[in-house]
């Protein structure tokens, strides 16, 4: 895909990996609709990235609001070429101790939210002649599990299954589907889980440039799944 002048949707654009992906896409000449709940952070990012970054305050788990935004924003003449399903939440805890709201929040955001926006965007992508691309951000915890991560791992294993099935379903519609599974990234993601992020974790800007590479592959070449890990995962002394 030739990224300049393409239209992208990036969910979870207000921080971390989503902000870095938005930055990389805008730098390549794409227009990015950046979705998240925190409007102030989105507006801050727009100050940095300029008018090609369009902040959209939206909770992706609210299906009616997502459907309304898609219907009001896009048409056959103006529709997304790229969807990056990046928004995600994670909390960790013992299955008999973790509050059930955390389970439902992870399922509603990481799985139901992703389904909700993807099912609407695919309708628009199917009408396009050129290749389009959906990139789902999974996790290393979508291919191997950890203790006290049952809920988060359920969602990330789910994203891997969703991506593989969609890839097989949509390849004949010229829609590429990729599942990108990073290991620990140095973002605010860990703030709520009591884990300190550090400089030996993966850097969001490096994952973003890998994502651009995945989008830039020739039309008939698809990277359907990619796992990325830090070589040395230990915090610097």
Ligand X SMILES: NC(=O)c1ccc[n+]([C@@H]2O[C@H](COP(=O)([O-])OP(=O)(O)OC[C@H]3O[C@@H](n4cnc5c(N)ncnc54)[C@H](OP(=O)(O)O)[C@@H]3O)[C@@H](O)[C@H]2O)c1
Task: Work out whether 89 is an interface residue with ligand X (CB under 6 A).
Answer: yes
Site string for ligand X, 168-187 (x = CB under 6 A): --------------x-xx-x
Please state, in angstroms and as integers, the Cα–Cα distance from residue 89 to each residue in 81, 114, 161, following that order.
25, 12, 18
Cα–Cα dist 43/201, whole Å: 27
Which region, judged by CB under 6 A, interacts with ligand X, from 10-18, 94-102, 164-172, 210-218?
10-18
Report the alpha-carbon distance of residue 178 to residue 225 in Å, rounded: 5
Residue 109 contacts ligand X per CB under 6 A: yes
- Is 121 a binding residue for ligand X by CB under 6 A? The answer is no
List binders of ligand X among 25-84 (CB under 6 A).
35-38, 41, 59-61
Instruction: Lay out the site mask for ligand X across 133-152 (x = CB under 6 A, - = otherwise).
Output: ----x-x-------------
7 vs 145: CA distance, rounded Å: 35
Cα dist from 60 to 136, 200, 213, whole Å: 14, 31, 26
Q: Rounded distance, CA 84 to CA 65, Å?
A: 18
Residue 115 is among the residues annotated as catalytic for this protein: no
Residues of this chain that bind ligand X (CB under 6 A): 11-12, 14-18, 35-38, 41, 59-61, 86-90, 109, 113, 137, 139, 182, 184-185, 187-189
């Amino acid at each position: 895909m030739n990224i300049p002048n393409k239209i992208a949707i990036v969910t979870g654009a207000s921080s971390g990996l989503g902000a870095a992906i938005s930055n990389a896409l805008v730098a390549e000449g794409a227009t990015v609709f950046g979705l998240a709940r925190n409007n102030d952070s989105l507006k801050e990012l727009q100050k940095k990235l300029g008018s090609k970054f369009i902040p959209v305050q939206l909770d992706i788990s609210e299906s009616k609001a997502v459907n309304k935004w898609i219907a009001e924003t896009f048409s056959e003449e103006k529709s997304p070429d790229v969807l990056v399903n990046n928004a995600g939440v994670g909390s960790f805890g013992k299955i008999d101790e973790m509050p059930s709201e955390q389970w439902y929040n992870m399922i509603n955001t990481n799985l139901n939210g992703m389904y909700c926006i993807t099912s609407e965007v695919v309708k628009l992508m199917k009408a396009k002649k050129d290749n389009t691309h959906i990139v789902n951000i999974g996790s290393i915890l979508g291919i191997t599990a950890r203790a006290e991560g049952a809920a988060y791992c359920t969602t990330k294993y789910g994203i891997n299954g969703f991506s593989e099935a969609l890839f097989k379903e949509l390849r004949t519609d010229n829609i590429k589907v990729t599942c990108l599974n990073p290991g620990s990234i140095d973002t605010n993601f860990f703030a709520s889980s009591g884990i300190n992020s550090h400089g030996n974790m993966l850097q969001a800007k490096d994952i973003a440039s890998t994502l651009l590479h995945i989008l830039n592959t020739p039309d008939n070449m698809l990277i359907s799944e990619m796992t990325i890990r830090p070589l040395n995962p230990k915090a610097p002394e």
